[in-house]
Amino acid sequence: MLSIGTLIGKLIDKIFKKPMLITSEQLRQIEPRLTPTRAKEMADLLNEICPKYGINTIDIFEEFLANVMQESGYFSHKVENMNYSAERIVQVWPSRFKTISEAKPYARNPQLLANKVYGGRMGNNTQNDGWIFRGGGFIGLTGREVYTLYSKYINQPLEQTAELVRTTDRYALDSACWFFAKLKGLIDEAENDEFKKIVKSINGGYIGLADRQRYYDKVKQVLNNNTR
């Protein structure tokens, strides 16, 4: 028979135990290209950080994880790739580059391209802001305005925040949770399984929708069919 002290300890552990949203094994079932080490690193961070933002049930977590996996290339990059060919630049920014000739000066020149396409908007107001505040994190904060809001939320200097988001898993994920739950306020939509609405809010459109849907279906299958 368990002692009163042991029973009380177990009750306290149950009450205050952090929710386990996903295991490393489940994460690898969703994305087999993750190494066991990488899956363990990310599962630990997901279980630690997501609940702090109200992403604390499987129903909410499914929508979040599917989008983050697509946006970040299954946690493989934290910095927006601006190293494009002229042809790709025209495809990505057709309203800014009408012809390949217009795009050629910016081809394979990430800093010049970032300042061209992001300069003078999204709160960017100095010469190099487009580059300094290019996309970062697992969802991709972009622009001085959004980085400023997040830096205030975590109480860190602005440019240091941008660096943390682009260089550390912790802040790459934390900023993604903040973007999803605080900036965009998508908790209710996640609870209501409004997946396409969530995609549009995050992305501004439906870029990568097929991959997002594939991840969403796989996440639901793994998390609902497996016993943790």
Mean pLDDT in each 10-residue stretch from start to end of the chain (228 residues)? 49 54 97 97 98 97 97 96 96 94 97 96 95 96 97 97 97 98 97 96 91 96 75
Can you tell me the distance from the alpha carbon of 120 to that of 98, in angstroms, rounded to the nearest whole number? 19
Total residues belonging to the chain? 228
pLDDT value at residue 226: 56
DSSP secondary structure string, 74-100? TTT-SB------HHHHHHH-TTT--SH
65 Cβ contact partners less than 8 Å away, ≥ 6 residues apart: 22, 30, 46, 215, 219
Q: Rounded to an integer, what distance in angstroms lies between the CA atom of residue 179 and that of residue 112?
A: 27
Q: Residues 136, 121: contact at Cβ < 8 Å?
A: no
Token output for 105? 């000066």
The predicted structure's pLDDT at residue 217: 97
| Separation between Cα atoms, residue 193 and residue 210, nearest integer Å | 16
Give residue 4's pLDDT.
62
Q: Enter the pTM of the model.
A: 0.87
> What span, in angstroms and rounded, lies between the C-alpha atoms of 200 and 202?
5
